[in-house]
Structure 1
Amino acid sequence: MTQVLIIATNGFEQSELAEPKQQLEDAGHTVTIASIDEGEITGWKDNNWGDSVTVDKTFGNVTVDDYDALLLPGGQINPDILRMNADAIDMIRSFNMRGKPIAAICHAPWLLAEADIVRDRTVTSWPSLRTDLRNAGANVVDQEVAIDGNLITSRNPDDIPAFTDALIEMMVADKKIAA
């Protein structure tokens, strides 16, 4: 069974966590939500606070080797907080060093830049991040999904179906190679 880790905190874009999580679970994957603190985190939806989700694990209780892929939802607030969290950045770097799929949507590629893993890679994001990504050495494109090695990036909530499909396809391909 494939294990997917989502890392997020308060202010995650509601649709960018809930919809991929549901699609992944519907496809038979197990999803774990990790955050800075125990309890619940609250999403952001339509310019206001959205629904809360239960945190399954805190960052300190996550072992990267227990997961096959990492999903990073966006929203302005969520990645801005997480990029200042050393544990979150270390996890992203660890997934990357192991070549495991990392899927980041909307504002979440900020985290990839903070982890210094976008240099010479092709990525996409929400338009306001594109200069930051270029400054971090990325080749930035404006398309529904950009795949470069183990990185999958998308621009916005409209891209969620293609974004999640790309992650599922990459995990299936990785499992076949590993088998």
Structure 2
Amino acid sequence: MRIAFLTAPEGVEQVELTDPWQAAKDAGHEPVLVSTRPGEIQAFDHLDKADTFPVDEVVGETSADAFGGLVLPGGVANPDFLRMDDEAVAFVKDFFEQGRPVAAICHAPWTLVEADVVRGRVLTSWPSLRTDIRNAGGTWVDEQVKVCDHGPNKLITSRKPDDLKAFCETFLAEFAGAGG
């Protein structure tokens, strides 16, 4: 299965990109780095610059049709940039409209809030997003990983880097169950 990993040009939390990416590769999937512009993205280790990664596809030049699932890594700046990009928001919303599975960790649900896809769903995130999620019609829970199957697709969310092992295991199982 081709899995889109959507990030902004900078601000993604590196471990929240690289751990799920490697888990997807190890499970036989094809991870694809999608961003809002071509070139490279700049990852961060909290607030410090970390590595750069080459962009495989640009969000405005691809669609959810090309992927079996979507992973949204966190980092504080990453989803903040993404939610201000109309094409990125439309890309995310398209996965929900097509019933494809989506996984988001840490601050990544900010992009889900902007895409207006949390209403009626139960999810988790970094704790500072709980009010945003509630205001968008979702139910926030403090759990290591949460799977919500409200609607035609699965939404898998986790709180933070410490939850990555459970997040990776869960999203891979759910993506496989969705036809991957």
Q: TM-score, normalised by structure 2?
A: 0.95
Deviations, residues 74-103 of structure 1 (Å, cap 9, x unaligned) = 001100000000011101110001111110
Secondary structure (helix, strand or coil) at the match of 1:175 reads coil
C-alpha distance in 1, partners of 2:80/2:31? 23
Give the aligned partner of residue 13 of structure 2: 13
Secondary structure (helix, strand or coil) at the match of 1:166 reads helix
Give the aligned partner of residue 153 of structure 1: 157
Which residue type is aligned with residue 3 of structure 2?
V
Give the aligned partner of residue 58 of structure 1: 58
C-alpha distance in 2, partners of 1:124/1:81? 20
Deviations, residues 112-158 of structure 1 (Å, cap 9, x unaligned) = 11111111110000011111111111111000111111111100001
Q: Is 1:169 aligned with 2:173?
A: yes
Q: TM-score, normalised by structure 1?
A: 0.95
Q: 1:60: Cα distance to partner?
A: 1.7
Say whether the 8 Å CA contact 2:116–2:136 is kept in structure 1.
yes
Percent of residue pairs bearing the same amino acid type: 43
Q: What does 1:103-118 align with in structure 2 at a 5 Å threshold? A: 103-118=103-118
Which residue type is aligned with residue 28 of structure 2?
G
Give the aligned partner of residue 3 of structure 1: 2
Equivalent residue pairs, number = 175
C-alpha distance in 2, partners of 1:41/1:144? 28
Deviations, residues 9-45 of structure 1 (Å, cap 9, x unaligned) = 2110010001100111011000100111111001110
Unaligned runs of 5+ in 2: none
Q: What does 1:90-109 align with in structure 2 at a 5 Å threshold? A: 90-109=90-109
C-alpha distance in 2, partners of 1:18/1:94? 24
C-alpha distance in 2, partners of 1:47/1:7? 20
Which residue type is aligned with residue 167 of structure 1?
F
C-alpha distance in 2, partners of 1:94/1:160? 25
C-alpha distance in 1, partners of 2:175/2:115? 22
C-alpha distance in 2, partners of 1:76/1:57? 22
C-alpha distance in 2, partners of 1:128/1:21? 25
Q: What does 1:8-157 align with in structure 2 at a 5 Å threshold? A: 8-9=7-8, 10-149=10-149, 150-157=154-161
